[in-house]
Amino acid sequence: MNRAFPIQRNAQPQDVPLLLAPMAGFSDMSFRVLCKSLGCDLTVTEMVSAKGLFYGSQKTAELLETDPAERPVVMQIFGREPEIMADMAQCLAERYGEALLAIDINMGCPAPKITGNGEGSALMREPLLAGHIVETVAKKAGVPVTVKIRKGYDARHENAAEIARIAEDSGAAAITVHGRTREQMYAGSADYAAIAAVRAAVKIPVIGNGDVRDGDSALRLLRQTRCDGIMIGRGALGNPFVFSEVRAALRGETYTPPTWAERMETAVRHTRMTAANKGERGILELRKHIVYYLSGIPGAARLRTRLQNAETAEEMAQILLDTCNPR
């Protein structure tokens, strides 16, 4: 390992790092840069298939595009073939150099198309293979290797602490725990006791993930788990300001929420950044992203319909601007 992972155990609350979770279809470069500008400390790319990289998939490679404003980044890969994953991790380290902070191994994705191939959270049912993957990647990557897991695969197999110990023994530099099982998907509440159990079981840094949507929930996660980092996923959708709010809470400072106009201006910025990075081909992804900014706003349903019918990113931007400056 050529460099140290920056997250350490037992940081003071005000110094606990905030991370943007890897969310397929959402955590693209534009959103990562936006969140970084609003207080996110570390960003993680959308998960990419190690096998896709191995076979030269252009679509897979595009998911790893990064911007100087967010570097160094963590790149997340998934798969179940240890040698392929290790080779691709090494290739990424050589290709991206100082722009790459760490390689994260996905052992938490609950999507059926992923688990159906024995990847993602399905690896939690195969502890020996999971350990072999981490060990093989860690020996070859040349950068720190981290692992993202869930509470377990289902209620009968809640083995997060076991997998965490295996990952640590196999060379992982840190581990992220989402406090739900694969069976739960995103339903119910995240189990912070399960994250705390992982924190108690290992000596490497543990990053807590699940149900952080504001300052109060972040403080609750930190208090109940003593986690060393806070990862925010769905709580940042339509609300990238959450990182500023959480940081203020960790520092004991007063937080002033953005005005409606500031929210819409940020949505416009997000829209134009995506168009600049992806061109109009990004319009479909952008539609599902931007509607989150309208949550809780009177007339949101009508605005969502207009945005879904917009044919260009600039048309979407104008719709959003019109809500700030009605004609």
DSSP track, 40-77: --EEBPPPEEHHHHHTT-HHHHHTT---TTT-SEEEEE
Q: Which of 106, 199, 94, 89 is nearest to 144 (CA)?
A: 89
CB 62 within 8 A of CB 29: no
Strand 145-152 versus strand 206-209 pairing type = unpaired
CA 41 to chain centre: 12
Residue of 35, 40, 91, 109 marked catalytic: 109
Give the sign of the dihedral formed by CA 71, CA 72, CA 76, CA 77: positive
Distance, in Å, from the CA atom of 300 to the CA atom of 294, rounded to the nearest integer, reads 6
Q: Which of 114, 107, 75 is nearest to 91 (CA)?
A: 75
- Catalytic site includes residue 109: yes
Q: What share of the chain is helix, strand, coil (3-state, %, to 5)?
A: 50, 15, 35
Q: Which of 208, 215, 213, 123 is nearest to 170 (CA)?
A: 123
If residue 181 lies in a helix (H) or strand (E), which one and from where to where? strand 174-181
Contacts (Cβ under 8 Å, ≥6 apart) of 325: none
Catalytic residues, which ones? 109
